[in-house]
Structure 1
């Protein structure tokens, strides 16, 4: 017997429908979490308890990890350049499925949905050729909701309203990695890079396996790592693997900047310190035409590479195996 779909609450509806950019977290094999940003374009079916986003074959590691472990979370954490007149922070958690071969009808609906968020699609023989892979080789990630938590403010301070599965207790402390817990990247450089990006979030694997995404502020840094200011009670005490995202964007996602970190989080009664182990950055051109050309070329290269190195076949095999695991 299957349970009824989880219908998200009224307070979350304008946020899910209207945010231009959200944070998505998925779980790593070592028990950590990676958090990145996507533009969901208002995708979701409230009556069926589904939210979602699209991505590209150019990011195979993300897709492979989601196919191997479907536990994901989406944080609707900024109203910037979106359409929702709300100050609520919304965390949606659930199980993801990946549609690697969406129907033409679904792709056409995506094109219609993208207009209000990303601007009208450029048309013409040259543009149609350039953007063919970008528009027609999309991958859909649909998330069947298990829990939706809503805070009344974007800082996620104070009480939360939970719909669906009860909020779990804090997870146990994790075993330290073999190579140590301290920073493995140049902290001064990382601090400079994230200083220019206004939105910062931290993600970890919760006690029930679902990622938790928390908005944080970086107050300082030293040889131990980045010192964080965060909502009370949302980060579990002790040490654990965690992911960090800093990002910023302009209208229609022009001029997007993003820095993603993986590392070790230590939370005590007095402090929360994040020690980065890896750091990756992404910057989109601040001009729409240049961004469109860049997206088209990157999509063409990503699809070519995925076909050449066997990524497409590997992802298809994983997707086909999932129902019988």
Structure 2
């Protein structure tokens, strides 16, 4: 059965075309979700109902999980340093496909779009060599959107407008992990690390399999985890695996910080508690030249490693096989 493309609403168009950085969430084999930040540079085909972003072979786990389970969500949650001014929060949920070998035309279009958001690309013999893998070995993730949810403000307050599939009910609580639900990282140290990262989001797997991304506020912490506040009704009651993202970025993403967590979310009448189990951080230098050199070298190393350890071939095999049943 085929379905007509879901054309996103007018209120979301400027946001999708203009946000510099968004959050992308995907699900894990254990039924949790991971949420991270990307710069989509306005990628999207409104008539086809398709959004997108790019990544690289240097992040194989993200690609493997999306190839195995294509349920993803994109949250356009901040207007910082972009071109959109509308105050709405846009959540797009859909099914992803991965283009591991994009055409030269598609790569050229990406380069043009990227310069609008990220600034002019340096050129010359040395720069062309340094940035070859960064620009020519990109992987595209295309998302056929099944539901758009638009809140009137970035904090997800107020009644949302939904376009597409009706939202499912709240998902049931999950069985606790075998190692228990308590924090597995130092919560106090984690609280210090995210203090300067003002954008905070939580993601969990919804009842229909799509991740749900919710803006949250950290109101405190103790040995049991982070205490959170979220808009009423957006976090389901009970316990479940969930991902957490805290990040910040500067104009053209020259200088950014990001911390991604996985852990256990508990929602009761007494409040919301998040017990972190894993924590990974990323920081990019606030100097354009140094950032460009770093991107080029990391892309070269990532591609070399992916070819050497078989990642590239494994991803191609997963893409040819399709999502796991």
What is the TM-score of this pair, normalised by structure 1? 0.99
Q: Secondary structure at the match of 1:235?
A: coil
- Cα distance per residue 1:80-132 (max 9 Å; x no partner): 00001100000000000000000000000000000110001110000000000
- Which residue of the partner structure matches residue 289 of structure 2? 289
- Which residue of the partner structure matches residue 91 of structure 1? 91
- Which residue of the partner structure matches residue 219 of structure 1? 219
- Which residue of the partner structure matches residue 201 of structure 2? 201
Q: Which runs of 4+ in 1 moved over 4 A?
A: none
- Cα distance per residue 1:21-60 (max 9 Å; x no partner): 0000000000000000000000000000000100000000
- Does residue 171 of the first structure (1) align with residue 171 of the second (2)? yes
- Which residue of the partner structure matches residue 34 of structure 1? 34
Alignment of 1:5-24 (within 5 A): 5-24=5-24
- Cα distance per residue 1:173-221 (max 9 Å; x no partner): 0000011001000001100011110100000000000000000000000
CA RMSD in angstroms comes to: 0.9
CA distance in 2, matches of 1:284, 1:324: 35
- Which residue of the partner structure matches residue 134 of structure 1? 134
How many equivalent residue pairs?
Answer: 325
5+ unaligned residues in a row in structure 1: which ranges? none
- Cα distance per residue 1:135-159 (max 9 Å; x no partner): 0000000000000000000000121
CA distance in 1, matches of 2:40, 2:291: 18
Alignment of 1:65-80 (within 5 A): 65-80=65-80
Change (3 A) 1:323 1:234: closer
CA distance in 2, matches of 1:282, 1:8: 32
Q: Secondary structure at the match of 2:322?
A: helix
Q: How many Å apart are 1:323 and its aligned residue?
A: 7.3
CA distance in 2, matches of 1:195, 1:236: 26
Q: How many Å apart are 1:270 and its aligned residue?
A: 2.2
Q: How many Å apart are 1:224 and its aligned residue?
A: 1.1
- Cα distance per residue 1:277-310 (max 9 Å; x no partner): 0000000001000000000000000000000000
- Which residue of the partner structure matches residue 145 of structure 1? 145
5+ unaligned residues in a row in structure 2: which ranges? none
CA distance in 2, matches of 1:297, 1:77: 30
CA distance in 1, matches of 2:248, 2:48: 31
CA distance in 1, matches of 2:298, 2:96: 25
- Cα distance per residue 1:61-95 (max 9 Å; x no partner): 00000000000000000000000110000000000
CA distance in 1, matches of 2:192, 2:75: 24
Q: Secondary structure at the match of 1:184?
A: coil
